[in-house]
Amino acid sequence: MSSPDGSIPRLGYGAANLGNLFRPLTDDEAWAVLDAAWDAGIRHFDTAPHYGLGLSERRLGAFLATKPRDEYFLSTKVGRLLRPNPDHEAGGLDTANDFHVPDDLQRVWDFSADGIRSSLDESRERLGIERIDLLYLHDPERHDLDLALAEALPALERLRADDEIALIGVGSMVTDALTAVVRTAALDLIMVAGRYTLLEQPAAAEVLPACREKGTGIVAASVFNSGLLAQTEPRRDGRYEYGQLPEELWDRLVRISAICADHDVPLPAAALQFPLQADEVRSVVVGGSRPAQLVQNVEYAAVSIPASLWQTLAAEGLIP
């Protein structure tokens, strides 16, 4: 399940759910999800301090501590430090950020060199793992993109030059931000969240060409578009990011689904494999809060998809 260049596995598990995203998981339930992922062959794991205020990193690290270090690829993120929350009250939860965890900590943006270094050290401590393969700057445009370009990205480059980290990148769902960071810094990989999917491909206009020019690889995330593409039969009442699904995207989804059905390809299998048709895309990361979801995603990644499906979708103007 390795990528074409062998450096990063083609299918990864995005561990936001381990931080109790949308619903709480017990430690045992979280472990069962990771067990299922590992047993199904997944060896690429992505997490972040943001996910459950460190809970995702702690749970993932405890699990990976039972596995040989050379058998998996691990990424986490920097940019938000976790610090005590002075406004925490007993019973308070971080549900404003969709995580069902106590809000005794708060996220503090810090793009300085010291802040980036502290974030890496604190992630290593939470994970209990010294060697992190890939370090992303997380959502820089949500804080200050100019500051990210001026301070955070050079700090990441220095960490790589000092052999503190092997690979560096940026993760974002904003195409303008991704284009800017690729053109500014010598990044190894970027994580494109929800912007290069079977349903919509705004990253194709500028992000992919910039990556091609700079030799930067892409990890595609949120490829199911908030779950819209995760079922063989799409539902009109499905959520799209933070609101309702726009009518034009629903019409597009219906057309894509019908073409997949005509080719006897499950819609989720096409959604999972679509990004990998681009040479710039090295890996696809998918989430999941139940073991069966992880097993199913590995099966979708192995479905044989005829070239005629991609040709028909392109001829209909639904993919580049």
Q: What mean pLDDT is predicted for residues 204-212?
A: 98
Range name among 34-43, 136-145, 243-252, 293-302 with the lowest pLDDT average: 243-252
Question: Is 315 among the domain residues?
Answer: no
Q: Write the CATH number for 184.
A: 3.20.20.100
Reported as a single tens digit per residue, the pLDDT across 270-305 is: 999 999 999 999 999 999 999 999 999 999 999 999
When pLDDT is cut at 50, 70 and 90, the band that residue 266 belongs to is very high
Q: Above pLDDT 90, what percent of the chain?
A: 93
Range of the domain at 103: 11-230+281-304
How many Å is the maximal CA-CA distance in the chain? 58
Which pLDDT score, from 0 to 100, does residue 14 have?
98
Question: Is 55 among the domain residues?
Answer: yes
Question: Is 239 among the domain residues?
Answer: no
CB atoms within 10 A of CB 315: 10
Match 């069966």 to its residue by tokens: 292
Q: CA 125 to CA 248: how far, in whole Å?
A: 46
When pLDDT is cut at 50, 70 and 90, the band that residue 4 belongs to is very low
SS3 string, 49-67, reads CCCCCCHHHHHHHHHHCCC
Q: Which of 22, 8, 38, 137 is nearest to 81 (CA)?
A: 137
Which pLDDT score, from 0 to 100, does residue 242 have?
65
- Could you tell me where the beta strands, DSSP code E, fall in the chain? 11-14, 44-46, 73-78, 80-84, 105-109, 134-138, 167-172, 189-193, 217-221, 239-240, 243-244, 281-286
**245-262 as b/e, with b when 16 or more CB fall inside 10 Å?**
beeeebebbeebbebbee
pLDDT over threshold 60, residue 77: yes
Which pLDDT score, from 0 to 100, does residue 245 have?
85
Concerning whether 51 is annotated as a catalytic residue, the answer is yes
Range name among 1-10, 168-177, 252-261, 276-285 with the lowest pLDDT average: 1-10
When pLDDT is cut at 50, 70 and 90, the band that residue 123 belongs to is very high
Which pLDDT score, from 0 to 100, does residue 241 have?
75
pLDDT over threshold 80, residue 2: no
Q: Is 221 helix (H, G, I), strand (E, B) or coil?
A: strand
Q: CA 25 → CA 15, 62, 74, 161, 271, distances in Å?
A: 12, 15, 22, 38, 26
Q: Which of 51, 136, 196, 240 is catalytic?
A: 51
Reported as a single tens digit per residue, the pLDDT across 217-246 is: 999 999 999 889 999 998 888 777 767 888
Q: CA 46 to CA 228: how far, in whole Å?
A: 22
Average pLDDT, the chain: 96
**How many domains does the structure of the chain reveal?**
1
- Torsion-angle region of 111 (φ positive above 0: left; ψ -120 to 50: alpha; else: beta): alpha
Q: CA 208 to CA 178: how far, in whole Å?
A: 10
Which pLDDT score, from 0 to 100, does residue 3 have?
46
Terminal Cα-to-Cα distance of the chain (whole angstroms) = 25
pLDDT over threshold 80, residue 315: yes
